[in-house]
């Protein structure tokens, strides 16, 4: 007979046999009544908890992102012109909206959107002034931007 090198290996079958007979305690969730999982009143959950302007804000973001993707030449005259028109149109529409009839979340979103539109218009002003400052140093930047825009619009290029 071979000598046992690890006496702990002799105890392993005894420990496994003892643990196989022991059952874990039942889960408290199994003993919980089903009624605890269903709220007693659900009519309060059917009203939206978000702002009345949520879809409007999502639409604004999607439209702005689409404009920026299409007019991808940063600082170009066409991009600045289109974004300026876009922000001005949204500002007019937002001003025409009845602020007093909005709830608290709607008023917060209205104010945040008005400030965002104002901020974006000021960013465009800053971009234009920056372009004017750099134009003596990079006089050809406008021509390159026009070429890039015509390429994006798939206009025929004049080789001259």
Query: DSSP letter string over 143-155?
Result: HHHHHHHHHHTTP
Contact between 76 and 149 under an 8 Å Cβ cutoff? The reply is: yes
Instruction: State the average pLDDT for the chain.
Output: 78
Which of 7-16, 55-64, 117-126, 141-150 ranks highest by mean pLDDT?
117-126
Give the pLDDT of residue 36: 55
- Asked if residue 126 has pLDDT above 80, the reply is yes
What's 23-39 look like in SS3? CCCCCHHHHCCHHHHCC
139 three-class SS: coil
pLDDT category at 125 given cuts 50, 70, 90 is very high
For the record, the structure tokens of 68 come out as 């920026």
- Mean of pLDDT values over 105-110: 90
- Mean of pLDDT values over 55-83: 87
């Amino acid at each position: 007979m071979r000598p046992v090198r690890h006496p702990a290996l002799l105890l392993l079958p005894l420990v496994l046999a003892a643990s196989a007979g022991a059952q874990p305690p039942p889960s408290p969730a199994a003993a919980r009544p089903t009624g605890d999982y269903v709220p007693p009143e659900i009519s309060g959950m059917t009203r939206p908890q978000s702002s009345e302007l949520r879809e409007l804000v999502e639409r604004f973001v999607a439209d702005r992102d689409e404009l920026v993707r299409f007019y991808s030449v940063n600082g170009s005259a066409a991009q600045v012109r289109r974004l300026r028109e876009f922000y001005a149109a949204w500002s007019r529409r937002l001003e025409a909206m009845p602020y007093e009839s909005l709830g608290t979340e709607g008023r917060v979103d209205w104010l945040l959107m008005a400030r965002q539109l104002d901020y974006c218009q000021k960013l465009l002003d800053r971009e234009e002034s920056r372009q004017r400052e750099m134009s003596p140093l990079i006089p050809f930047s406008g021509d390159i931007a026009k070429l890039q825009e015509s390429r994006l619009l798939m206009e025929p290029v004049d080789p001259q």
